[in-house]
């Protein structure tokens, strides 16, 4: 599969929907992708099976403050430096790249990095949506671990972390990011292509592209039913944002935690109050006080007029929105992995409330194809 | 017991310390319980009427406040109260909007929530404490010894600060006063609560063992602001009803015992043959019964189902209302009574007496199916038996004669009329023939012998003289008559019936 200029908009819409309100703004990433395309680079997306089983697939992405990424643009050498460091440390050549997180800018950046490095990108990712922490990536969820991991920040510093649990890698990365430029290119240990199906969410790049196409096809001011049909989810509310409240979340690793907040949408038709609890992503939806949807399902707040997803950090009072619930990747609804992304993993003491998964694959309503 | 959220907010400890952040529409929700919980997400089975107090620190942005409001609303709870952390710690607009939408009051306090819980619980318990105190006071006042219903009503009136009345089985006040006693539905033997225009009427039945209809009712009316607290009165009313029931039972026992003594004494007097013994005279004197002078017997007959022990006082009252002082004794199905004159009464006095008795009888007939017979004046103790016998006979006749108002006075003229009228009836003659039929065709002209014997006041010698036979013959025939008819001619009822029957049969033959 090739990504050409016409596909960029659809891909952008798809990955921002999958971000569940997080994952960072995609404008810069999309601009970088367009620049690569304009420079004549080929953007190739290959399926996992097309690679030799032993080929090293390196998970790549941007970590840290995604807002800073937009202000402090990449110099262009970060991924090259990081991949070089990883190759040198492991002695394994990197044959292809895979996104660490399909939701948000990391759904696009690996394509840019791979094009720059002359690598193919595998149609998969390590999240299936937007996730806030490294220890929540699929490789960590299946117990594979994250190390060695390389961080390369725009200032030129490269750090390689080896050893330690996923949580410890997350902690070390945060400390490094706070002390440097705020964001860094991340490259994780290459996974042999043959092992990827067991530790990644497959088909997500193609899935995001297709979702984006369908969402764009619904047009501006989409009808709620059409919107639900196009995205394979359900509409939780159609109304106006009545309140956005932000506060500090509980501290983590002795530092201030992620900001917390809630968004309340008053439905025009029913007058019901839909309250979304958010951290970096929208995590829990309460309708008149009763939980009706939660992570790992994807909660998206769309601008009612343009249909564009509104990120947690820019949603504001008074906007007319539609709130959507999209089904989680089957990877996460497996009872063994559910706790990694369930509300309690975010300090929200509520049971997961998910769209029914039964028959999802058969009817084709599932947004993302599951692992083969 | 319960109170509205609004009422709790007016408590001294709550006023000023608790403000309504949202959900003011639900301030009239009923609070039945006030429970502390540690945090908004605490596991707590919610019940209707529960006011939840979060005693631990609450982040005003905590979504669990919303969830708690919702759970409280779903369970029919009363309100949610939490303690704010700082000065400007208002709940989120989202939370306030939800509270408004659900009509579930969201209360915020800067004070110690546990103190508020204690104050609210005490306030909720006040009516129960008041009620318990009232029951105790009623028990102290009425529990130890017997009190007549009038006294019970007066005691309750003082305890309730409200009018209290004792009503009889028809709902008429016996003691105390009530504005609307007719509101009590006297047929249902259960405590009642009747809403009045400006208050409430509470009534408790006094039931005697085995009875299906209450003997008495205790009722009170609470009006105005006090009516809201009327819920505490019924238990005290029940205690008082118990006291009245005890009094009734004790009283009843006394009257029953008394009635039995009097009935026995009357029986002895009626069987009297000659001068009464010293013992009998003493017993009569103890009972306050005059034996000397002239007596006029009175018989009040009733259906046998009537409780003549309990209702005896009504007869005395009715007679007294006509200025007639009489001894009234429960006797058979009804009462036997007599009034005594020091000297032989003149015809005028007898007529006045009869008129009074007729009036008293009319009064009694209003509440019971009574018939009355009155005898002629007879002197001295043995005359008493005579006049009572006449009265009894007359009453028996009166029962079958609605045209005389079921009242008959035996004077000489009246007696003759009575007999005439009696024997003219179509029903009597066949009955008389049937009564005497066993004597037909038996040798010895038994009917004429019996008639002569009764006419001669049961004197064998006189009868023998009238019939011209030997007195032993008369005795033998009378024996045979008694044997054939299966009666005893010493019994006055039988005698009267046979006497009348003989007359009728003989008259018919002529």
The 10s digit of each residue's pLDDT in B71-88 is 999 999 999 999 887 766
Q: How far apart are CA B361 and CA B348, in angstroms?
A: 20
The pLDDT of residue B167: 86
| Structural domain count of chain B | 4
- Percent of chain A exceeding pLDDT 70 equals 93
Instruction: Give whole-number Cα distances, B500 to B261, B339, B417, B421, B493, in Å.
Output: 34, 28, 13, 11, 11
Residue B233 lies in a domain: yes
Per residue in B223-244, is it b (16+ CB within 10 Å) or e — as a string?
beeebeebbbbbbbbebbbbbb
Q: Is B92 in contact with A286 (Cβ distance < 8 A)?
A: no
In this structure, are B153 and B115 located in the same domain? no
Query: Which of B68, B71, B97 is nearest residue A273 as measured by Cβ atoms?
Result: B97
Look at residue A238 and tell me whether its pLDDT is greater than 80: yes
Interval A286-307: pLDDT, tens: 999 999 999 999 999 999 989 8
Chain centroid to CA A331: 14
A contact residues 107-146, partner B, Cβ 8 Å cutoff: none
| B102/A262 Cβ within 8 A | no
pLDDT at B498 over 60: yes
Nearest beta carbon to residue B92 from set A243, A288, A289: A243
Which range, of A6-10, A254-258, B119-123, B229-233, averages the lowest pLDDT? A254-258
Contact assignment for B93 to A348 by CB distance below 8 Å: no
Residue numbers of the domain that contains B488: 425-509
Q: What integer pLDDT is reported at residue A371 of this predicted model? A: 40
| Closest residue on chain B to A265 (Cα) | B94
Return the structure tokens found at B115.
Answer: 């103190």
Predicted pLDDT of residue A361:
39
Cross-chain residue pair A289–B97, CB shorter than 8 Å: no
- Give the nearest partner residue to B94 out of A243, A247, A284, using CB atoms: A243
Domain assignment present for residue B253? The answer is no
- pLDDT tens digits, residue range A326-366? 999 999 999 999 999 999 999 899 999 999 864 443 333 33
Same domain, yes or no: B106 and B13: yes
> Cα distance from A147 to chain B (closest Cα, Å)?
36
Asked if the Cβ–Cβ distance from B61 to A262 is below 8 Å, we say yes
What is the pLDDT averaged over residues A36-59?
92
pLDDT beyond 90 at A317: yes
Give residue A18's pLDDT. 95
Considering the domain architecture, whether residues B306 and B396 belong to the same structural domain is answered as yes
Task: Say whether pLDDT at B403 is over 60.
Answer: no
Q: What is the spatial distance between Cα A172 and Cα A253, in angstroms, rounded to a whole number?
A: 10
Mean pLDDT of chain A: 89
Where does a domain end: B195, B218, B247? Answer: B247
Contact A290 B63 (CB under 8 A): no
Nearest residue of B to residue A241, measured between CA atoms: B94
pLDDT of residue B329 exceeding 90, the answer is no
Residues of chain A neighbouring B58 (CB-CB closer than 8 A): none
- Helices then strands, counting H and E runs in chain B, come out as 16, 17
Question: Could you tell me if B303 and B218 lie in one domain?
Answer: no
Domain boundary among B185, B219, B247: B247
Q: What tokens were used for B362?
A: 């009319």
Would you say residue B418 lies in a domain? Answer: no
Tell me the CATH number at B94: 3.40.1390.20
Examine residue B130 and state whether it is found in any structural domain, yes or no. Answer: no
- Between CA B253 and CA B259 the distance in angstroms is 10
Residues B341 and B393 in one domain: yes
- Is the domain of B404 the same as that of B453? no
H, E, C per residue of A238-262: EEEEEEEEEEECCCECCECCCEEEE
Do residue B29 and residue B119 come from a single domain? Answer: yes
pLDDT at B27 over 90: yes
Q: Shortest Cα distance from A246 to chain B (angstroms)?
A: 9
Taking the Cβ of residue A247 and every Cβ of chain B, the question of whether any pair is shorter than 8 Å is answered with yes
Contact A301, A277 (CB under 8 A): no
Q: Do A264 and B92 make contact, defined as CB atoms within 8 angstroms?
A: yes
Note whether A271 contacts B97, CB cutoff 8 Å: no
Asked whether residue B322 is domain-assigned, the answer is: yes
A54 near B CB under 8 A: no
pLDDT at res. B445? 84
What distance in Å separates residue A316's CA from the closest CA in chain B? 14
Tell me which residue in A247, A286, A288 faces B61 most closely, judged by beta carbons.
Answer: A247
| Distance of alpha carbon B240 from alpha carbon B150, whole angstroms | 11
| Residue A105 Cα, gap to closest chain B Cα (Å) | 29
Q: Quick check: B101 and A349 CB within 8 A? A: no
What's the rounded Cα separation, in Å, for the pair A228 and A92?
Answer: 45
Query: Which residue pairs from B247-252 have beta carbons closer than 8 angstroms and sit at least 24 positions apart in sequence?
Result: B247/B146, B247/B147, B247/B148, B247/B149, B247/B152, B248/B206, B248/B208, B248/B215, B248/B216, B249/B208, B249/B209, B250/B146, B252/B208, B252/B309, B252/B310
* Mean pLDDT of the region B276-301: 80
Q: Which residues of A309-321 are buried (b: 16+ CB within 10 A; e: fewer)?
A: bbbbbebeeebeb
Nearest to A152 by CA among A119, A117, A128: A117
- C-alpha B315/C-alpha B318 separation (Å) is 5
Nearest CA in chain B to A275: B94
In terms of domains, do B222 and B114 share one? Answer: no
DSSP B11-52: STTTTTTEEEEE-GGGTTPEE-EEEEESSTT------TTEEE
- Residue ranges of domains in chain A, CATH in brackets: 5-202 (3.40.1610.10), 221-363 (2.40.390)
Q: What is the pLDDT of chain B when averaged over all its residues?
A: 83
Q: Are residues B351 and B292 in the same domain?
A: yes
**pLDDT-based confidence at residue A320 (cuts at 50, 70, 90):** very high
Q: Which residues contact B457 (CB under 8 A, 6 or more apart)?
A: none
Pair B350, B397 in one domain: yes
Q: Are A295 and A325 within 8 A, CB to CB?
A: no
pLDDT given for residue B405 in this prediction: 67
> Would you state the pLDDT for residue A365?
37
Q: Does B68 fall in a domain? A: yes
The predicted structure's pLDDT at residue B442 = 80
Mean pLDDT score, B237-248: 87
Q: What percent of chain B has pLDDT over 90?
A: 15
* Chain B residues within 8 A of A262 when measuring between CB atoms: 61, 63, 92, 94
A245, A288, A348: residue with CB nearest B70: A288
- Calculate ∠ Cα A217-A218-A222, nearest 5°: 155
Contacts with A290 from chain B: Cβ below 8 Å: 67, 70
Q: Are B59 and A247 in contact (CB < 8 Å)?
A: yes
- B361/B370 Cα distance (integer angstroms): 8
CB contacts of A261 in chain B (<8 Å) are: 61
Residue A96 pLDDT: 95
- Strand B164-168 relative to strand B106-109, pairing: unpaired
pLDDT in the model for residue B422: 60
Span B283-312, average pLDDT: 79
| Interface contact B61-A260, CB threshold 8 A | yes
Which residues in B lie closer than 8 A to residue A247 (C-beta atoms)? 59, 61
- Identify the weakest region by mean pLDDT among B50-54, B171-175, B408-412, B442-446: B408-412
CA–CA gap between residue A100 and residue B383 (Å, rounded): 130
For residues B199 and B147, membership in a common domain is answered with: yes
Distance (Å) from the C-alpha of residue A70 to the closest C-alpha of chain B?
30
pLDDT of residue A69: 83
Q: Could you tell me the CATH number of the domain that includes residue B314?
A: 3.30.70.270
In terms of DSSP H, where are the helices of chain A? 5-18, 27-38, 66-71, 78-90, 109-117, 138-141, 166-179, 196-199, 204-217, 224-231, 330-333, 338-341, 360-363
Partner-chain residue, chosen from B63, B92, B98, that has the shortest CB–CB distance to A288: B98
Q: Of B348, B375, B409, which closes a domain?
A: B409
How confident is the model over B407-432, as pLDDT tens digits? Answer: 777 764 455 555 655 665 667 778 88
Out of B41, B68, B98, whose CB is closest to A273?
B98
Kindly state the average pLDDT of the residues A42-58.
Answer: 93
Residue B458 has pLDDT above 50, yes or no: yes
A164, A185, A182, A171: which is closest to A76 by C-alpha? A185
Task: Collect all residues with Cβ–Cβ distance below 8 Å to A167 and sequence separation of at least 6.
Answer: A135
Of A131, A51, A114, the residue nearest A80 (C-alpha): A114
**Nearest-by-CA chain B residue for A246:** B61
CATH code for the domain in which residue B223 is found: 3.30.450.40
The CA distance from B80 to the nearest CA of chain A, in Å, is 13
What token pair was written down for B351? 């007529």
Task: Kindly indicate the confidence band of residue A369, based on its pLDDT and cuts at 50, 70 and 90.
Answer: very low
Q: Give bridge partners of residue B81 from the DSSP assignment.
A: B53, B107
**Any domain includes B417:** no
Chain A from 334 to 353: CB within 8 A of any B CB: 348-350
Per-residue pLDDT band for B253 (boundaries 50, 70, 90) equals: confident
**Confidence band (pLDDT; 50, 70, 90) for A180?**
confident
Tell me what pLDDT residue A240 has: 96
pLDDT of B155 strictly over 50:
yes
The reply to whether B48 and B80 lie within a common domain is yes
B63/A242 CB distance under 8 A: no
Model pLDDT, residue A370 = 40
CB atoms within 10 A of CB A92: 15
Tell me how far apart the alpha carbons of residues A179 and B336 are, in angstroms, rounded to a whole number.
120
A83-124 tens-digit pLDDT? 999 999 999 999 999 999 999 999 999 999 999 999 999 999
Please choose, from the candidates B237, B376, B252, the residue with its C-alpha nearest in 3D space to the C-alpha of residue B311: B252
Cβ-Cβ contacts under 8 Å for A234 (sequence gap 6 or more):
A228, A324, A325, A355
Nearest by CB: A286 against B59, B66, B73: B66
b (16+ CB within 10 A) / e for B384-416: bbbbbbbbbbbbbbbbebeebebbbbbbeebbe
The predicted pLDDT at position B417 comes to 55
Rounded distance, CA B435 to CA B495, Å?
A: 12
* Residue B61 lies inside a defined structural domain of this protein: yes
Q: Helix %, strand %, coil % for chain B, to 5?
A: 50, 20, 30
B41 contacts A349? CB cut-off 8 A: yes
Q: Which residues of B touch A242 (CB under 8 A)?
A: 93-94, 97
């Amino acid at each position: 599969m090739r990504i050409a200029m016409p596909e960029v908009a659809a891909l952008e819409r798809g990955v921002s929907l999958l971000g569940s309100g997080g994952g960072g703004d995609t404008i810069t990433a999309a601009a970088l992708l367009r620049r690569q395309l304009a420079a004549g680079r080929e953007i190739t997306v290959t399926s996992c099976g097309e690679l030799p089983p032993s080929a090293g697939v390196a998970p790549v992405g941007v970590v840290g403050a995604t807002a800073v990424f937009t202000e402090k643009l990449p110099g262009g050498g970060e991924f090259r430096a990081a991949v070089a460091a990883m190759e040198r440390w492991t002695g394994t050549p990197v044959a292809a790249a895979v996104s660490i997180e399909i939701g948000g800018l990391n759904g696009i950046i690996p394509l840019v990095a791979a094009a720059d490095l002359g690598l193919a990108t595998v149609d998969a990712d390590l999240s299936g949506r937007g996730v806030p922490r490294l220890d929540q990536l699929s490789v960590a969820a299946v117990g594979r671990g994250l190390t060695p991991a390389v961080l390369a920040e725009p200032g030129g510093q490269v750090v390689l972390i080896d050893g330690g649990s996923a949580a410890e890698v997350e902690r070390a990365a945060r400390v490094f990011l706070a002390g440097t430029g705020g964001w860094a290119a991340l490259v994780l240990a290459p996974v042999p292509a043959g092992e990827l199906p067991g530790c990644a969410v497959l088909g997500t790049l193609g899935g995001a592209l297709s979702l984006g196409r369908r969402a764009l096809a619904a047009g501006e001011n989409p009808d709620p039913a059409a919107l639900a049909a196009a995205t394979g989810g359900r509409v939780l509310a159609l109304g106006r944002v009545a309140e956005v409240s932000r506060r500090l979340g509980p501290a983590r690793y002795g530092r201030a935690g992620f900001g917390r907040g809630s968004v309340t949408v008053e439905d025009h038709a029913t007058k019901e109050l839909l309250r979304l609890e958010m951290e970096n992503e929208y995590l829990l939806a309460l309708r008149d006080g009763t939980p009706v949807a939660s992570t790992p399902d994807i909660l998206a707040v769309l601008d009612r007029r343009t249909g564009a997803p509104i990120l947690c950090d820019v949603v504001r009072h008074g906007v007319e929105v539609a709130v959507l619930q999209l089904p989680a990747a089957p990877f996460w609804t497996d009872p063994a992995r559910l706790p990694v992304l369930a509300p309690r993993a975010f300090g929200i003491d509520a049971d997961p409330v998910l769209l029914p998964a039964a028959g999802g694959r058969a009817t084709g309503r599932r947004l993302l194809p599951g692992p083969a | 017991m319960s109170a509205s959220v609004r009422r709790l907010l007016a408590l001294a400890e709550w006023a000023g310390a608790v403000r309504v952040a949202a959900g003011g529409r639900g301030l009239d929700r009923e609070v039945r319980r006030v429970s502390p919980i540690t945090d908004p997400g605490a596991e707590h089975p919610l019940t209707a009427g529960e006011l939840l107090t979060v005693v631990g620190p609450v982040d005003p942005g905590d979504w669990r406040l919303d969830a708690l409001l919702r759970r409280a609303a779903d369970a029919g709870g009363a309100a949610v109260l939490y303690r704010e952390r700082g000065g400007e710690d208002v709940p989120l607009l989202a939370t306030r909007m939800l509270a408004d939408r659900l009509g579930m009051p969201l209360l915020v306090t800067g004070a110690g929530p546990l103190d508020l819980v204690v104050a609210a619980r005490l306030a909720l318990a006040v009516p129960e404490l008041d009620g318990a105190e009232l029951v105790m006071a009623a028990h102290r006042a009425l529990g130890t010894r017997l009190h007549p219903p009038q006294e019970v009503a007066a005691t309750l009136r003082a305890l309730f600060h409200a009018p209290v009345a004792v009503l009889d089985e028809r709902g008429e006040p016996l003691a105390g006063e009530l504005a609307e006693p007719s509101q009590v539905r006297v047929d249902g033997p259960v405590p009642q609560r009747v809403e009045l225009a400006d208050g409430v009427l509470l009534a408790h039945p006094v039931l005697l063992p085995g009875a299906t209809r209450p003997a008495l009712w205790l009722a009170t009316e609470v009006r105005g602001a006090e009516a809201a607290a009327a819920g505490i009165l019924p238990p005290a009313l029940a205690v008082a009803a118990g006291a009245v029931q005890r009094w009734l039972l004790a009283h009843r026992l006394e009257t029953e015992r008394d009635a039995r003594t009097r009935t026995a004494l009357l029986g002895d007097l009626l069987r009297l043959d000659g001068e009464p013994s010293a013992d009998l005279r003493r017993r009569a004197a103890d009972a306050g019964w005059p034996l000397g002078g002239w007596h006029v017997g009175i018989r009040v007959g009733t259906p046998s189902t009537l409780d003549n022990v309990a209702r005896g006082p009504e007869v005395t009252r009715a007679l007294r209302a006509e200025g007639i002082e009489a001894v009234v004794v429960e006797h058979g199905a009804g009462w036997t009574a007599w009034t005594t004159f020091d000297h032989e009464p003149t015809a005028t006095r007898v007529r006045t007496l009869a008129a009074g008795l007729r009036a008293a009888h009319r009064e009694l007939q209003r509440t019971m199916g009574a018939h009355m017979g009155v005898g002629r004046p007879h002197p001295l103790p043995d005359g008493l038996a005579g006049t009572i016998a006449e009265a009894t006979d007359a009453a028996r006749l009166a029962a079958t004669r609605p045209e005389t108002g079921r009242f008959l006075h035996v004077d000489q003229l009246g007696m003759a009329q009575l007999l005439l009228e009696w024997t003219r009836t179509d029903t009597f003659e066949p009955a008389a023939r049937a009564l005497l039929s066993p004597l037909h065709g038996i040798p010895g002209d038994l009917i004429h012998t019996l008639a002569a014997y009764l006419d001669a006041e049961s004197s064998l010698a006189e009868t023998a003289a009238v019939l011209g036979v030997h007195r032993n013959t008369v005795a033998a025939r009378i024996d045979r008559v008694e044997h054939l008819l299966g009666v005893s001619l010493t019994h006055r009822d039988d005698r009267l019936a046979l006497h009348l029957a003989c007359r009728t049969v003989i008259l018919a033959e002529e």
